[in-house]
Amino acid sequence: MSDNSANLTLPYLQPAQAQKHITHNEALRRLDALVQLAVISASGITPPSTPADGDRYILPVGATGAWAGQSSAIAIYETNVWTFIAPREGWCAWVNDTDQLIVWNGSAWVSAATALEMQGLPLLGIQTSADPVNRLAVAAEATLLTHDGAGHQLKLNKFDDTHTASLLFQSNWSGRAEIGTIGSDDLTIKTSSDGNSYTTAMAVDTVSGIAAFPSFPRFKGYTDYDNALPADVWTTIGINNAESNDQGVLDTSSNLFTVPISGTYLLGATLLYKETAGPTARIRGRLLLNGSTEIRGGFGEISGSHESEATLLSLHTMTALSAGDTVALQGSCRVVAGKAAAEHTTFWATKIG
């Protein structure tokens, strides 16, 4: 039979041993030193000048004085003497001056967090609770992912092209914007005001790389009848059909383009002249802001001779508009009356910035 226990090397009482209390007390002192192990420090290299009985330290490389040559050992001050115990793999200790739990891995004292096996965890919650859907959950002011000497990629992998890989931005747990490959492999940006209905702001075709902006305010309208243009009287053209009308910004009943959001817009129009009172008519056109102001660059006239259903006046300009502004296309003829012909009299606009 061994004289000491296998794990803590506690001395055994021997048969017919004299002064058994000495052996028994030594075992108690070792238990007192190692059970619920908490050390004052694991970084000091110099023994304290006035240690208290029971003080414990873990000794780093380079320890000096009475600790010299005892690197990694547990130093215990008992009855005015330093005693040293070599750790065994798996022993843990709480370090008071750093508030850190460390573990002996067989060759070094390391952070217990480092020693834990972090592979294949079913859930991980940091300052919050993870769940079967959100298997990694973090509650923090920021989350840092940094490089390891070169670049850094964040990878979101989905099962196939019919599923979703995206970043979802929420406000009080209600979705407001989503960026990713959403239900296809095209890159899509969507927005929502309520977390239920989403509007696609941009979609990039995965094959061609061409970007589409289906929610951009834009339209092209035209008239399907000949609009009479009395001499020297401005008349709003009846743009009563929409060839395209994203966001419904053209009202074909009022013939007005209503600006949905402030920004810079391209505006344009064509007026095809049709003769009614002779070729001396001079067709004019203008883009009218809020029923009263000619938009700079949005006025024009053809002063030369006209040919019915061949002479075409074209207007185009760029301007800043505010949400709620309205724009109308107006036409007129000087000298004598004329008409703005059906089909090729058009009005269009698009937001560009």
Share of the chain above pLDDT 70, in %: 90
Residues 6+ apart with CB under 8 A from 328: 236, 237, 255, 256, 257, 287, 288, 291
d(CA 254, CA 239): 8
- Res. 36 pLDDT band, cuts 50 70 90: confident
Q: Which residue has the tokens 């094959």?
A: 207
Is pLDDT of 9 > 70?
no
Domain that holds residue 56: 36-114
Write out pLDDT tens, residues 95-141: 999 999 999 999 999 988 776 767 788 999 999 999 999 999 999 99
- Res. 79 pLDDT band, cuts 50 70 90: confident
Name beta bridge partners: 56: 76
pLDDT of residue 152: 96
9 in any annotated domain: no
- Residue ending a domain, choose from 58, 80, 114: 114
- Res. 345 pLDDT band, cuts 50 70 90: very high
Write out pLDDT tens, residues 47-60: 999 999 889 999 99
- Res. 46 pLDDT band, cuts 50 70 90: very high
Residues 64, 102, single domain; the answer is yes
Residues 66, 87, single domain; the answer is yes
H helices of the chain, where? Answer: 20-34, 112-115
23 in any annotated domain: no
Q: Which residues of 281-297 are buried (b: 16+ CB within 10 A; e: fewer)?
A: bbbbbbbbbeeeeebee
CATH number, domain at 342? 2.60.120.40
pLDDT of residue 307: 92
Share of the chain above pLDDT 90, in %: 79
pLDDT of residue 54: 87
Residues 202, 245, single domain; the answer is no
pLDDT of residue 121: 83
Write out pLDDT tens, residues 238-288: 999 999 999 999 999 999 999 999 999 999 999 999 998 777 889 999 999
End-to-end CA distance of the chain: 89
Is pLDDT of 35 > 80?
no
**Looking at the 3D structure of the chain, how many domains does it have?**
3
Residue 29: CA atoms inside 13 Å, Cβ hemisphere, count? 21
CA-closest candidate to residue 64, choices 82, 91, 78, 80? 82
CA distances from 54 to 9, 31, 92, 100, 150 (A): 19, 12, 18, 20, 50
What's the rounded mean pLDDT across residues 336-347?
96
What's the rounded mean pLDDT across residues 327-349?
96
Are the C-beta atoms of residues 137 and 128 closer than 8 Å to each other?
yes
**Count of helix runs (H) and strand runs (E) in the chain:** 2, 27
DSSP E strands in 79-215: the ranges are: 81-85, 92-95, 100-104, 109-111, 124-126, 136-138, 164-171, 174-182, 187-192, 198-204, 211-212
Whats the size of the chain, residue-wise?
353
- Residue ending a domain, choose from 182, 215, 248: 215
10 in any annotated domain: no
pLDDT of residue 142: 97
What's the rounded mean pLDDT across residues 164-179?
97
Is pLDDT of 352 > 60?
yes
Residues 233, 190, single domain; the answer is no
Residues 236, 333, single domain; the answer is yes
- Residue ending a domain, choose from 180, 215, 250: 215
pLDDT of residue 205: 96
What's the rounded mean pLDDT across residues 72-96?
91
Question: Mean pLDDT across the chain, nearest whole number?
Answer: 91
Residues 232, 333, single domain; the answer is yes
pLDDT of residue 34: 66
